């Protein structure tokens, strides 16, 4: 298969390119080349998709499949315009495209946000609307039978530079305090849903090979936060105590949710967001998506985190100092 990846230097695109090369495909990546290198065996064409003629270097080839991970509607509209001779187009969208993130168990037929009217997504506030606009451009340009929309949930595994799936196994493996106690939010029933980047990439390559059409939630299995933390503890061989704090206490001490600095990753206290990690993945699994156990993902993520340096700055979670300080205060209120 002659596969064009629009990207291929960042985390997911790189993994797709690597697996496609391993499966014997002819892989070309079109990217600016700022995010990193492409895998060995793939070809790189350096170009900027923000320019109107940015796809000119690849527009004359006959591609069996194009894979696109963009969030910018203008980039996707130009790609659809310039790559009309491609046989198949796979667009990687997001669960953020859905209008509501509250209800549990929603499938691909749930209502979407209105599409972004601008060709440029200026801030992450309009990320979901931008992805909807991208989806529409692909479907209108290629026809629903010649394209696939993969709405992806939280991606995890080795290479997670965002720190959302690496924080917990790393924290349990390297507690901030000598007695091994770890601080967790009191949210045992909170849904979590992680897809391993390697499983997602494998299925995207498979979908290009089979030229699968339709819309799919490309997401992991939904597990409770309690189950997720148990898998992280097992991966880390943690035998210390865990101390729980409720949302009100954590918020009053400036602890954030989901991601970012001074946060407890994956934690969401507002039920209006719980459905984000509890979407149906049945359609994708019926179409060949194979998912490894969460513990295996967290094991590999921990290994990658440790190899990358446990003291490097991270995009999510509490620093050792922040967690130790919070634990000292929390434990003192218990006595």
Q: Taking residues 38-66, what's their average pLDDT?
A: 95
Q: Residue 326's pLDDT is what?
A: 98
Q: Residue 248's pLDDT is what?
A: 98
Runs of H (alpha helix) within the chain: 11-22, 73-82, 127-142, 167-173, 197-210, 225-236, 247-252, 282-286, 294-308, 320-334
Q: Residue 36's pLDDT is what?
A: 84
**Is 267 within 8 Å of 261 (Cβ atoms)?**
no
Give the span between the Cα atoms of 3 and 86, in whole angstroms.
Answer: 10
> What residues are paired with 194 via a beta bridge?
154
**Is 91 within 8 Å of 150 (Cβ atoms)?**
yes
Residue 13 carries which DSSP code? H
Q: Residue 240's pLDDT is what?
A: 96
DSSP secondary structure of 163-209: -TTTHHHHHHHS-SSTT--EEEES-TT-EEEEEEHHHHHHHHHHHHH
The yes-or-no verdict on residue 33 having pLDDT over 90 is: no
Q: Residue 4's pLDDT is what?
A: 98
Residues 6+ apart with CB under 8 A from 278: 104, 105, 191, 193, 222
Residue 91 carries which DSSP code? E
Angle at 16 between CA 15 and CA 19, to 5 degrees: 85
Q: Residue 194's pLDDT is what?
A: 98
Closest CA to 15 of 113, 129, 160: 160
Q: Residue 225's pLDDT is what?
A: 98
What backbone phi and psi angles, to 5 degrees, belong to 302?
A: -60, -45
Q: Residue 331's pLDDT is what?
A: 86
Q: Residue 332's pLDDT is what?
A: 87
Q: Residue 34's pLDDT is what?
A: 79
pLDDT per residue as tens digits for the range 279-321: 999 999 999 999 999 999 999 999 999 999 999 999 999 999 9
Task: Return the percentage of the chain with pLDDT > 90, whole number.
Answer: 96
Residues 6+ apart with CB under 8 A from 143: none
Relative to beta strand 222-224, strand 191-196 is: antiparallel
**Is 283 within 8 Å of 107 (Cβ atoms)?**
yes
Closest CA to 54 of 86, 85, 79: 79
Q: Residue 313's pLDDT is what?
A: 92
Q: Residue 334's pLDDT is what?
A: 78
The yes-or-no verdict on residue 158 having pLDDT over 90 is: yes
The yes-or-no verdict on residue 335 having pLDDT over 80 is: no
Please report which confidence band the pLDDT of residue 333 belongs to, taking 50, 70 and 90 as the band edges: confident
Q: Taking residues 114-139, what's their average pLDDT?
A: 96
Q: Residue 322's pLDDT is what?
A: 98
- Name all domains of the chain by residue range, CATH numbers in brackets: 2-152 (3.40.50.720), 155-194+221-273+292-334 (3.90.25.10)
Q: Taking residues 20-44, what's their average pLDDT?
A: 93
Give the span between the Cα atoms of 324 and 263, in whole angstroms.
Answer: 14
The yes-or-no verdict on residue 110 having pLDDT over 90 is: yes
**Is 308 within 8 Å of 245 (Cβ atoms)?**
no
**Residue of higher predicted confidence among 333 and 292:** 292
- Could you give the C-alpha distances from 197 to 14, 74, 117, 330, in angstroms and in order? 10, 26, 31, 36
pLDDT per residue as tens digits for the range 66-82: 999 999 999 999 999 99
Q: Give the total residue count for the chain.
A: 335
* DSSP H or E stretch at residue 115: none
Question: Edge-to-edge strands of the sheet including 154-156?
Answer: 154-156, 191-196, 222-224
């Amino acid at each position: 298969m002659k596969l064009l990846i629009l990207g291929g230097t960042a985390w997911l695109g790189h993994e797709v390119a690597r697996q496609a090369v391993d499966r014997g495909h002819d892989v070309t990546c079109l990217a600016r080349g700022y995010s990193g290198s492409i895998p060995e065996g793939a070809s790189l064409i350096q170009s900027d998709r923000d320019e109107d003629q940015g796809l000119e270097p690849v527009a004359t080839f006959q591609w069996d499949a194009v894979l696109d991970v963009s969030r910018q509607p203008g980039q996707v509209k130009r790609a659809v315009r310039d790559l009309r001779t491609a046989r198949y187009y796979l667009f990687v969208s997001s669960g953020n495209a859905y209008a509501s993130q509250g209800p549990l168990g929603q499938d691909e037929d749930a209502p979407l946000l209105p599409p972004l009217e601008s060709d440029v997504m200026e801030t992450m506030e309009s990320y979901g609307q931008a992805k909807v606009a991208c989806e529409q451009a692909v479907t209108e340009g290629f026809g629903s039978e010649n394209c696939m929309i993969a709405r992806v949930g939280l991606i995890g595994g080795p290479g997670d530079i965002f720190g959302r799936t690496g924080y917990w196994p790393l924290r349990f493996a390297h507690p901030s305090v000598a007695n091994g106690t770890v601080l967790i939010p009191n949210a045992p029933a909170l849904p979590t849903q992680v897809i391993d980047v390697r499983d997602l990439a494998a299925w995207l390559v498979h979908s290009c090979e089979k030229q699968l059409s339709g819309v799919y939630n490309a997401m992991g299995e939904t597990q409770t936060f309690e189950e997720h933390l148990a898998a992280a503890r097992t991966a880390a061989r943690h035998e210390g105590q865990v101390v729980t704090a409720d949302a009100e206490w954590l918020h009053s001490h400036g602890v954030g949710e989901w991601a970012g600095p001074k946060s407890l990753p994956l934690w969401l206290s507002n039920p209006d967001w719980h459905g984000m990690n509890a979407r149906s993945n049945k359609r994708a699994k019926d179409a060949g998506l194979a998912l490894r156990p969460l513990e295996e993902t967290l094991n590999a993520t921990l290994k990658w985190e440790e190899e990358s340096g446990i003291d490097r700055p991270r995009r999510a979670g509490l620093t050792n100092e922040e967690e130790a300080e919070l634990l000292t205060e929390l434990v003192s209120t218990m006595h």
